[in-house]
Structure 1
Amino acid sequence: MVEIWSNTDFPYMCLKDKIRTSTFRKAINKIVKHGDTVLDVGAGSGILSFFAAEAGAKLVYSVEIDHLLAESLRKSIEANNLTKVIKVIEGDILKVPLPKKVDVLIAEIIETGLLDELQLPAINSLYQKGVIDNHSRLIPQKYRTFLQLVYSNNKYYGYKILAPKHEWPFYSNDRAGWYKSAIKLVSNLVEIVTSEFNNGIVQESIDKDVIFTLSKNSKINGLKISGQIFLTESLKLNSTNALNGDKIIAIQPIIAKSKVKLNIKYRMGGGLNSLKIKLLDFS
């Protein structure tokens, strides 16, 4: 396969996202203890590995699949005189050789609803291999996924665009030159699943009937997916500029006045292609 682009932009966005990165730093300082062995999955720029070393980790394994990012990370580690503490493992977390056991797992391969990134497959694989167990400390600890019905005119530059929409918070800044989406929330917010990472292997497949309630007669043509990340019990993140942005998925247009029932199926880590939405009933 010929690589036509290298995914180096998004890790830099994560680095620049002060809310995301500073909150992870607080969590790492709280969870990592002096002398710990830490595994950082999807290390990217390496900033979370640096925080782990700063917190007192004896050894940090930084796993990164992208060759250019892995090479850049090695240079950054050397530039910060941390070659004795941080070791880069280049490759797929599901396939590369890993340490037998770690005290702390940092896994920030999170994407809204845990759909597109391999957060759950990676964590489950690490449990299966014994790299982590129920005594390991994980950052983050859990993820809550929410659904809400919306209506959008879907119009961009005079055309209806029905592609999935990723509504990052910074898109709402009119002065920054972003095209403003016209999206109206029309139902209650429903939590579809809470994924607990600390208690062993987590179910990856979702198949649920979900009932939404409406406050008035409404047009509906979309489903919003959002999430909440618990880094610790007290440190949590919703949508930030580079983490967990809301998704808007086009669905069959209807008009309803009180309730809508959908069947939602998807596999965490399976991507949006695994998401199936079926209209069961509405009134």
Structure 2
Amino acid sequence: MKTEDVRALLRKRFAPPEWALMEELAPRTGGGTGYADAVAMNLWQSRGHVVYGMEIKVSRSDWLRELKKPAKAESVFRYCDGWYVVVLPGVIQDGELPATWGMLEAHGGRLIEKVKAHKLDPLPPDRLFVASLMRRGWEQIDRVAEAKQRQAIAEASEKIQERINSEVQRRARRFEELQAAVKKWEDATGLRFDVYAGPSIKVIRLAQQLEEMRYRNVNDLVDSGPFGFLGALADNLQKASQIVRGALSECGVAGDTTSESEAISRADEDVGSALSNARMLPCPQGRRARE
């Protein structure tokens, strides 16, 4: 445990609203004076507004130096109702604690009063000491505000990082899904997705269009009767021819437009002849009445 850990325990023990704790408090403003590691003032009138001064010692060597220079804390000691040394276990041996001092010992995340401090006869606080108290109080308010700001920033940063991690994971899952879809497509087509396959892609689209046209019109062809069937067939053949010509043009294949026109004309003549012959056939029973 370090000095800052002990300070945290002091803040916990001497906490608002009952206590005000000032750390590293000098008897007056300005330099060149000794100071106490901490001074706690009780803010409740019912408790007499007692003032306790404290020295923190986390090592035996530090404690022995304190014993050699007891005057270090004397300048603040005279304003206190009691004086405590705050230590870790084993720092102070039997018989070393001054007669008027109390002792707080850190144990398991809290401070235990091992020796109660004697009641002292303090001097009334003068303006020099009050000024030092007020300055330290304002400085600690600034430190507390800064600490809260740092904590708020840290919490906000943590939330932002959580959102970033969540978005990264979501995009990673989406990437894996897309990879699987591309793999499935490549297996089905035999093509590489990352290599441009211009004409091949257009041929696939052509096949899709023809397939859609076939399924879209099959019911109309079945229900349209002999005359309607041939007419719809002629329309579908012409649409299919247009789709094929468009696909060939996109692929850069120049078709023989003259031959295509002649083929379409022959198809139209054949369909027209079929329609004429169909009209000469007797209609099935029941159909004539409907027509």
TM range (shorter): under 0.3
**TM-score, scaled relative to structure 1:** 0.24
Q: Of Structure 1 and Structure 2, which has the larger fraction of its residues in helix?
A: 2
Normalising by structure 2, what TM-score?
0.23
Q: Which has the higher strand share?
A: 1
Q: Which structure would you say has the larger Rg?
A: 2
Q: Which has the higher contact order (CA 8 A, sep 6+)?
A: 1
